[in-house]
Structures are given as structure tokens and as C-alpha cells.
Amino acid sequence: MKSVLTRTLCRMLVVLMAWIPYHFAQAGVISTEAAVASASADRAAVLNVLGRADVARQLQALGVDPASAQERVAALTDEEVRALAGKLQALPAGGDFTGVVILAVVVYLFWLFIIRRS
């Protein structure tokens, strides 16, 4: 009885393994141009958000000069810009989330230049 059960189980596992699609991890080298293009695209996305008229109004209402905010974004490292662009892309679409975006940008820049540099 034990050998019949073992044989049936093995056959079932062989059939199931044949049905499972194999996904092998692939590693590749990206070109320098692709890495630079990705970093510049993220930086452009953040600068586009800061360049919008409603964001500029909100920044001015909070006492932040939009030009200085853009200069601060230009001074960020590629990793910091990538993190900030990821947060901007994670925000839900639609609605009035400009206040949230502005607050996130201002808090991040405040943290970056005031607290982290102390």
C-alpha cells in the first residue's frame, strides 16, 4: 500500500512540475546612457511637478520660493531624486492632492538641507 501511494504521489509531482512555468532570473548590464536617461527622467518629473502653476502658488503660500525649490531639486543626488519621484508616482491619480505633494516636497527638502546636514 505504501509503495502505491508513494508511486502515485511521485507521478503527480512530476506532472505538476511539468505544468509549472519556469522563470529564471536574468541579470544584465544596462548602458550608461540608459542609467543617465533614467536619472534625468526622474529629475524632470520632479521639476515638472514643481513647475506647475498650482504647485508654485502653494509653495508661495507656504513661504517657499519656487525657484529655490527647483534649485534644491537640482542639487539632490540621483538616488534622492529617484526616491522623491517614486513617492510622487505613488500618489493616487485625480483629486486635489497638490497640498500633499507640496507638503511632501517641502518636508523632504527641509529634512535634507536642515536636519540631515546638522
- More confident call, 44 vs 104: 44
- More confident call, 61 vs 101: 61
Task: Determine the Cα–Cα distance for residues 101 and 58; give it in Å rounded to an integer.
Answer: 10
105 within domain boundaries: yes
82 within domain boundaries: yes
72 within domain boundaries: yes
Average pLDDT of the chain to the nearest whole number: 80
68 within domain boundaries: yes
Region 22-32: what's the mean pLDDT?
Answer: 77
How many folded domains does the chain comprise? 1
Q: How many residues does the chain have?
A: 118
Task: Determine the Cα–Cα distance for residues 21 and 27; give it in Å rounded to an integer.
Answer: 19
- With beta carbons less than 8 A apart as the criterion, state whether 46 and 4 touch: no
**pLDDT for res 92:** 67
Residue 116 in 3-state DSSP? coil
33 within domain boundaries: no
The total of other beta-carbon atoms located within 10 Å of residue 39's CB is 16
Residue 7 pLDDT greater than 70, yes or no: yes
114 within domain boundaries: yes
pTM value? Answer: 0.51
Confidence class of residue 115 from pLDDT cuts 50, 70 and 90? Answer: low
96 within domain boundaries: yes
Q: Residue 117 belongs to what domain range? A: 47-118
28 within domain boundaries: no
